[in-house]
Amino acid sequence: MALPFLHALGQSWWLVLLRGIAAIAFGIFAFAWPGLTLVTLALCWGLYALIDGVSALWLGWKAKDSGAPLWPVVLIGVLGIGAGIFTFMSPGVTAIALLMLIAAWAIVTGVLQIVAAIRFRKEIDNEWMLGLSGALSVLFGGLMIARPGGGALAVLWIIGAFAIVYGALLIGVAFRLKKIPPAAAASA
């Protein structure tokens, strides 16, 4: 039997889907217009981080109503909102600073998603998708830190590829969460 917070997540599966769609849209945008300036890229990424953060925060609060605190999801939301606001307040940030901000966000978010996947491992099938998206996020952040000067175009393609794969994994998680029956139906 699924825990109460999983029922809340199941009812809010569309928020995880929204995060995945936003990530894929950002990734496609990064590939479609590789000549964007870093300021424009920063603003696009800031918008993505805000959408992702608000969706994750909302998801975390909805699950909290079921009585189970989902601090990793709430923290992902707060970090995303903070990163998005910081980006909009400082759009002229240098390429290296933007890369380090994205790398730090990806690593912390990835670790928190791995924690959530471990927590859900006995409650849902295929929790590995959430864990894999977290591991991919940590790997991406580590690569960004290790090779920050690899060229703006190469970095843009890495960011775009990461966002598309990450978004696809989140969409997979969303459809798994959609299959969780509502709490009332499960207890009947």
Percent of the chain with pLDDT over 70: 82
Looking at residue 153, its pLDDT comes to: 65
d(CA 179, CA 57): 22
Q: What is the mean pLDDT of residues 146-160?
A: 72
Indicate whether 30 pLDDT > 60: yes
**Number of H helices and number of E strands within the chain?**
8, 0
Average pLDDT, the chain: 81
Q: What is the mean pLDDT of residues 20-39?
A: 81
pLDDT band with cut points at 50, 70 and 90 for residue 46: confident
7-26 confidence digits (pLDDT tens): 777 888 888 899 899 999 98
Indicate whether 119 pLDDT > 70: yes
SS3 readout for 12-41: CHHHHHHHHHHHHHHHHHHHHCCCCCHHHH
d(CA 53, CA 58): 8
Chain CA centroid to CA 5, Å: 19
Name the most confidently modeled range: 31-35, 115-119, 145-149, 154-158. Answer: 115-119
| Number of residues assigned to the chain | 188
Q: What is the mean pLDDT of residues 106-123?
A: 88
48-79 confidence digits (pLDDT tens): 889 999 988 888 877 766 666 678 888 888 99
Residue from 98, 88, 76 nearest 170 by CA? 76
Looking at residue 51, its pLDDT comes to: 92
Indicate whether 188 pLDDT > 50: no
pLDDT band with cut points at 50, 70 and 90 for residue 185: very low
Looking at residue 25, its pLDDT comes to: 92
User: What's the whole-model pTM score?
Assistant: 0.56
